[in-house]
Structure 1
Amino acid sequence: MGLALVLTTISPEIGGVLVRGEKGTAKSTAVRGLAAVLPSISVYAGDRFSIDPDDPSAESPDGPFGPDAVVESRPVRLIELPVGATEDRVVGSLHLESALSRGAVEFEPGLLARAHRGLLYVDEVNLLHDHLVDLLLDAAAMGRVSVERDGVSVSHAARFVLIGTMNPEEGELRPQLLDRFGLTVEVAAPRDPALRVEVVRRRMSFDLDAAAFAERFGGADRALTSRIAAARELVGKVRLTEPGLLKIAEVCAVFEVDGLRADIVTARTAVAHAAWAGRSEVTRADIRRAALLALPHRRRRNPFDAPGIDEDLLDRILGDEELPPEPPEGPGDSGDDSGPEDDSVGLDTPPPSGSGGSTDGGEDGSTDGGEDGSTDGGEPPLVEPGERQRAGVETNTDDSADDQPQGAAAPESVTGAAPAYRPRLLTVTGLGTGRTGGRSKAIGSSGRRIGARESSRGSLHLVETLKAAAGKQATRGRTSGRVELRVEDLRTAVREGREANLVLFCVDASGSMAARKRMAQVKAAVLSLLLDAYRRRDKVGMITFRGEGAELVLPPTGSVDLAAARLDEIPAGGRTPLAEGLLEAARVLQRERLRDRDLRPLLVVVTDGRANFPKKDGQAHGKDAVRRSQQAAAYVAGLGVTTVVIDSESGPMRLGLARQLAAHLEAEHVPVAEVSAEALTSAVHGFTGSTTGRGVA
């Protein structure tokens, strides 16, 4: 993590860093500490857009600045982008005080302007609203921000190092933004007790006397600042030879990364790593380290694929020998713009031994373990556990469960999912008020403006505010001059966008479900809906019932990756306690309703309806179980939750129990054979249209 942060500040063109890791691993602490060790920058005094005085092509909306303009030095800014920030705060907007008091149209710069030539930090970047993600994508791609609104037309430079931190358990990042991060690292807390003790000791020392603690490590900080400055001076002189470029291209091609951004980022990172180590030419070790930082997150083919890279394969591609020297140029050959003609350019002295701290273990850049965020277990696995099952491979193909008596318990088995498909959009009709997402229509802070309302909180609707005040000026004794505004005049914009929903799966994992590959079909349907939930930024939860009861295998979470992993691990076998599964679903929905009343739920029950449960004598009683399941279904129906029953029963002999269950649940009934994307989506969409306004009791 430390190395990735340093490299992207040495060469900002790399494109920033995404730090993924479990909670409590000092991700935010490391990022905030980075700004303190970066060399200062020169700016014009009073320039709110921080252009570079040494760049004659740089233009500032506060300019122009003449040759006599005062130039000052200031520390690099670390600008934090809150997850709940508004669009006006990010890109800038009309200066309200100037507009209302003097009638002047002035631009108030946003966070992207303040971040120019500095660091833009987004904590919990995976929870960032979609409209803010789009703004960051545009700014990162263009290096500029253009604002055209409310009579303001401004364009300014916005080149910054984008740093994001996230906990994967809270949900994954949109693929569009994920690819914009040049480097990514996985971090975890150390497992060595001695290292953990040292962390606690230093934290307690800092809490007792922060000034003394800072002074204790002041020398190492200053040495690190000097080393970063020296690396920045050297990075433009580092030579990346043709054999090195070919090796980078070979690595990216073998790992089948999308596009050419990976090649470019790997090359820039290798050059920065060589400069950091004080070398004037890129070596094999530089390319290896760059690939470990730049490629893992670009190898994901599906949202549920685990990021990672096979280091053994990488070493086989790079080989054991150092990069061959570039052949000398012959007559008529064009020069190489990748570096200086003089290969001997380098630092006069080697990097300070104490400046790297734990960031870099040696000048050759070939240290293993820790620099790229890997722990004792190495890189994340190349193949996610359960991927073989998702490919449609079954570990048990016992088809005899249907032939067993209804009360008998079938043996346990783990069945893989059939190939997933892309489902159509499932929406809840009406207008919700939930958090920003991509599923159902909602009134929120983003989206198209459809009106205004009287309020002092939210995005100000200037025109409606002035209209509301204009009709009251006479009663306030004003006939000319400035418009007198009061709190009751304020109007905020009403916007219609999209919200996320809670999709709760209640999956029958009994023995009858294991028969005749039913579970493969069921898991394919659930996996397809999970893929859609990933894209829509929904919360998902999963309940399974089998044997003697029901289990909440995944509490509602934003991480659909966890749901997919748990889906792979679900065994099938035993009896069918359907009532217990429905009652557990009711408890989860009621609990989530208390936590967030604006999060509208969708319950998906997957079963064949063959309810039975064991008694103390070990015998299953089907009639009692059916009656209890009907009572439980009626209770769930009383909660007013939109529900779909996926009937997994197959074969020529069908009892129709799932259809009866759907009637008691007041739910739509969909046979599993018809659970194509179109059939399932149409069924749910049609059902939700008749339940507008219903909520959980």
Structure 2
Amino acid sequence: MTTPFPFTAVVGQDDLRLALLLNAVSPAVGGVLVRGEKGTAKSTAVRALSALLPEVAVVSGCRFSCDPSAPDPGCPDGPHESGGGTARPARMVELPVGASEDRLVGALDIERALSEGVKAFEPGLLADAHRGILYVDEVNLLHDHLVDLLLDAAAMGASYVEREGVSVRHAARFLLVGTMNPEEGELRPQLLDRFGLTVEVAASREPDLRVEVVRRRLAYDDDPAGFAARWAEEEAAVRARIVAARQLLPQVRLGDGALRQIAATCAAFEVDGMRADIVMARTATALAAWAGRTDVLAEDVRQAALLALPHRRRRNPFDAPGLDEDKLDETLEQFGDDDGPDTDPDGPDGPDGPDGPDGGGGQPSADGPDSGGDASTPAEAGEGGEAGQPAGAGSGERSPVGSAEPFRTKVLSVPGIGEGAAGRRSRARTEHGRTTGARRPRGALTKLHLAATVQAAAPHQRARGRRGPGLVVRRDDLRQASREGRESNLVLFVVDASGSMAARQRMGAVKGAVLSLLLDAYQRRDKVGLVTFRGSAADVALPPTSSVDAAAARLESLPTGGRTPLAAGLLKAHDVLRVERLRDPARRPLVVVVTDGRATGGPEPLLLASRAAGLFAADGVASVVVDCESGPVRLGLAGKLAGELGGTAVTLDELRADSIAGLVKDVQRRAA
């Protein structure tokens, strides 16, 4: 087994280390979501944490890690007698992004269940993670049906496996830790709220710190065991401190003053529900225990808010996470209490509070390298900050225009039935959904069609010498349920940014419409891409990605002006689809062309655009043209383009009206 990188050898990342340690002290805090760019030691720190956790006592031979002092009465390996047991290290179980449902929750031997009536159950990762850590790298890329299972287990502290009337239940209480790169897409709000704390990590821009990171990593790679031995004393000290903090935790007093500050802070930042209040209370208590105190101070409440609230205050998918620290300090001061130790800023340990494991002193600064923000986030790019940018000299380019308010759109879907990644847009054959038929299983059986299986086995019972009530079932009798659900698609936006679209009010409405469609794509778990055309060429403003936030940011900063190379835009989009088809052949595309249909520049621009559109029609690509033409005189060029694409056209007004309900039918009729 490879020696893990020591937790105390991680350079910087104070917020990340503190959040992990607080969960080690009090697992009731609810886990950690680590957001940040690649290569910032996210996974390294999480894997290193497991070596610091105290050992757990388990019932000998129990596959579900029952506690000998209080065994689970419903354990599938039970019943167990109280007392005894053995101690083993706490486990850290990794959930791969591409794991199957059976790998996560466990699997039943359906054939034995039908023929012998026994519950032959093979535990899954949730059972392995009980009383330990469940780690999900790239948690934002996890399939929706696995997310649903995680949510259920996290809420109930148990996992239920149901297979055609046969059910198994076992305890599943674990520390949930996820890491993600926001550029690859955001989490569903339901799962986001399940993480107790969140931290933003980024690589330091200080040369000395970067040098130390490289030095330690090279030393570890050269001799992992020797490097770990050099940090053994620091690791033992942190491990002992975790044990001491756990013992002190029940004695920590959360006074009325601290509770008022917690409630006021959550109300001031308008977080949904009461989970934030509870998580903040538990985090502040753990901070006090980690600092060796029995009273919660105002500084604990402040640090708890910085860790527990940023991911809960997002009002829509394009809002950047974070807290206004001036507002936080104002709220804490307003609701402070000076009649007891709750608000003593220095406390018995002085201002140092819960220092990091490297002895850096003090709580991690909220103004450290992780809090600098990303200047490309939609929240910053969409609030008029770009209006003062100079236009390109001599190019006819105009300053970017902010978008109008987004609105709710009706569903645009791809006709036919696909087999792409799970999502919420178009019809598809999936492992989850309504049952539409039965077939022989290809590979392992995952979803049994009971009636079809019984029907296949029934004619052979006499020949198989059936005696008694049991049904004699063989492998050839098993039938897999065919199911139909929804898939996600690649929604490729092709946006006209030429001079004919550049009127500020008009372009703002266009951006608002595209932003609305992006919001719909976020909710339906689509991949999105953005191609723009203006001047003399087309550009891929955003290659296909799961990060709808990134698409919104590029859209907001999109400049306009120049000629209208419509053919170039269509050809560029066709090339993007060709490359993406090689990377992800099962994902079907939906092309949304946003234009007034005009084409200028070069010889016979409309003819070239028509030929380019014919490529999409020949490939059977589903398409919609959002007609942006305005004014009393309309040429109808966008409608003609839609016909050449084999799609349909809709005006900006129709995009938000009930009349768009007929749009999908038009797409399907033209594709038939």
TM-score, scaled to structure 1 = 0.85
Unaligned runs of 5+ in 1: 328-337, 339-344, 399-407, 614-620, 693-697
Kept in 2: contact 1:413–1:514 (CA 8 A): no
Alignment partner, residue 125 of structure 1: 139
Q: Distance in 2 between matches of 1:568 and 1:580?
A: 22
- 1:79 shift after superposition: 1.6
- Structure 1 residues 395 and 510, CA, compared in 2 at 3 Å: closer, same or farther? farther
Match among 439, 455, 469 for residue 425 of structure 2: 439
Alignment partner, residue 338 of structure 2: 324
Amino acid at match of 1:361: G
Q: Distance in 2 between matches of 1:95 and 1:663?
A: 53
Match among 124, 148, 152 for residue 166 of structure 2: 152
Kept in 1: contact 2:413–2:590 (CA 8 A): no
Match among 641, 644, 647 for residue 621 of structure 2: 641
Deviations 1:470-502 (Å, cap 9, x if unpaired)? 767888x87779999877666433222211001
Deviations 1:515-544 (Å, cap 9, x if unpaired)? 262111111111111001001110000011
Unaligned runs of 5+ in 2: 1-15
Alignment partner, residue 592 of structure 2: 604
- Structure 1 residues 677 and 223, CA, compared in 2 at 3 Å: closer, same or farther? farther
Kept in 2: contact 1:395–1:415 (CA 8 A): no
SS in 2 for 1:384: helix
Alignment partner, residue 428 of structure 1: 414
- 1:204 shift after superposition: 2.3
Match among 294, 310, 314 for residue 300 of structure 1: 314
Alignment partner, residue 26 of structure 1: 41
Match among 82, 88, 109 for residue 123 of structure 2: 109
- 1:173 shift after superposition: 0.3
Map residues 203-242 of structure 1 onto 2, 5 A cutoff. Answer: 203-242=217-256
Q: Distance in 1 between matches of 2:378 and 2:622?
A: 36
SS in 1 for 2:205: coil
Q: Distance in 1 between matches of 2:617 and 2:36?
A: 40
Amino acid at match of 1:87: E
Q: Distance in 2 between matches of 1:72 and 1:671?
A: 69
Kept in 1: contact 2:35–2:181 (CA 8 A): yes
Alignment partner, residue 46 of structure 1: 61
Deviations 1:22-47 (Å, cap 9, x if unpaired)? 11222122111111110001111112
SS in 2 for 1:306: coil
Q: Distance in 1 between matches of 2:331 and 2:354?
A: 32
Alignment partner, residue 357 of structure 1: 357
- Structure 1 residues 201 and 490, CA, compared in 2 at 3 Å: closer, same or farther? farther
Match among 381, 390, 408 for residue 386 of structure 1: 381
Alignment partner, residue 567 of structure 2: 579
Map residues 475-494 of structure 1 onto 2, 5 A cutoff. Answer: 491-494=479-482
Amino acid at match of 1:213: F
- Structure 1 residues 102 and 666, CA, compared in 2 at 3 Å: closer, same or farther? closer
Q: Distance in 2 between matches of 1:100 and 1:661?
A: 58
Map residues 236-315 of structure 1 onto 2, 5 A cutoff. Answer: 236-315=250-329
Deviations 1:174-233 (Å, cap 9, x if unpaired)? 011111111011111222222222222222222222221221212221211111111111
- Structure 1 residues 465 and 77, CA, compared in 2 at 3 Å: closer, same or farther? farther
Q: Distance in 1 between matches of 2:422 and 2:122?
A: 26
Deviations 1:307-330 (Å, cap 9, x if unpaired)? 011122222333399852349xxx
SS in 1 for 2:624: strand
Map residues 75-114 of structure 1 onto 2, 5 A cutoff. Answer: 75-95=89-109, 99=113, 103-114=117-128
Kept in 1: contact 2:261–2:336 (CA 8 A): no
Asked if 1:66 is matched to 2:81, the reply is yes
Q: Distance in 1 between matches of 2:553 and 2:432?
A: 32
Map residues 493-504 of structure 1 onto 2, 5 A cutoff. Answer: 493-504=481-492
Map residues 585-624 of structure 1 onto 2, 5 A cutoff. Answer: 585-613=573-601, 624=604
- Structure 1 residues 426 and 113, CA, compared in 2 at 3 Å: closer, same or farther? same
Q: Distance in 2 between matches of 1:381 and 1:520?
A: 19
Q: Distance in 1 between matches of 2:335 and 2:423?
A: 50
Q: Which has the higher helix share?
A: 2
The RMSD of aligned alpha carbons is 3.2
Q: Distance in 1 between matches of 2:504 and 2:517?
A: 22
SS in 1 for 2:379: coil
Q: Distance in 1 between matches of 2:211 and 2:240?
A: 30
Asked if 1:179 is matched to 2:190, the reply is no
Alignment partner, residue 188 of structure 1: 202
Kept in 1: contact 2:423–2:526 (CA 8 A): yes
Kept in 2: contact 1:283–1:323 (CA 8 A): no
**Greater displacement, 113-122 / 204-213:** 204-213
- 1:259 shift after superposition: 1.8
Deviations 1:25-79 (Å, cap 9, x if unpaired)? 2212211111111000111111222232333786533233225x53111111112
Q: Distance in 2 between matches of 1:448 and 1:57?
A: 34
Q: Distance in 1 between matches of 2:427 and 2:604?
A: 42
Alignment partner, residue 24 of structure 2: 9
Alignment partner, residue 682 of structure 1: 662
Q: Distance in 2 between matches of 1:394 and 1:671?
A: 27
Kept in 1: contact 2:66–2:72 (CA 8 A): no
- 1:131 shift after superposition: 1.4
Kept in 2: contact 1:456–1:487 (CA 8 A): no
Q: Distance in 1 between matches of 2:360 and 2:459?
A: 71
**Greater displacement, 202-211 / 455-464:** 455-464
Kept in 2: contact 1:458–1:493 (CA 8 A): no
Deviations 1:427-474 (Å, cap 9, x if unpaired)? 223210001111111112222333333311451537456765676788
Q: Distance in 1 between matches of 2:242 and 2:195?
A: 21
Q: Distance in 1 between matches of 2:484 and 2:515?
A: 30
Q: Distance in 1 between matches of 2:387 and 2:409?
A: 23
- Structure 1 residues 677 and 49, CA, compared in 2 at 3 Å: closer, same or farther? farther
Alignment partner, residue 565 of structure 1: 553
Match among 514, 522, 536 for residue 534 of structure 1: 522
Kept in 2: contact 1:79–1:115 (CA 8 A): yes
Between Structure 1 and Structure 2, how many residues are aligned?
Answer: 645
- Structure 1 residues 34 and 449, CA, compared in 2 at 3 Å: closer, same or farther? farther
Alignment partner, residue 434 of structure 2: 448
Identity of aligned residues (%): 56
Amino acid at match of 1:691: A
Amino acid at match of 1:554: L
Kept in 1: contact 2:264–2:335 (CA 8 A): no
Q: Distance in 1 between matches of 2:518 and 2:479?
A: 39
SS in 1 for 2:555: helix
SS in 2 for 1:605: strand
Alignment partner, residue 152 of structure 2: 138
Map residues 544-555 of structure 1 onto 2, 5 A cutoff. Answer: 544-555=532-543
Alignment partner, residue 459 of structure 1: 446
- 1:592 shift after superposition: 1.2
Kept in 2: contact 1:94–1:150 (CA 8 A): no
Q: Distance in 1 between matches of 2:272 and 2:334?
A: 27
Q: Distance in 2 between matches of 1:385 and 1:186?
A: 17
Amino acid at match of 1:595: R
Kept in 1: contact 2:377–2:550 (CA 8 A): no
SS in 2 for 1:582: helix
SS in 1 for 2:560: strand
Q: Distance in 2 between matches of 1:99 and 1:267?
A: 46
Q: Distance in 2 between matches of 1:639 and 1:17?
A: 45
Q: Distance in 2 between matches of 1:588 and 1:379?
A: 27
TM-score, scaled to structure 2 = 0.88
Q: Distance in 2 between matches of 1:183 and 1:238?
A: 20
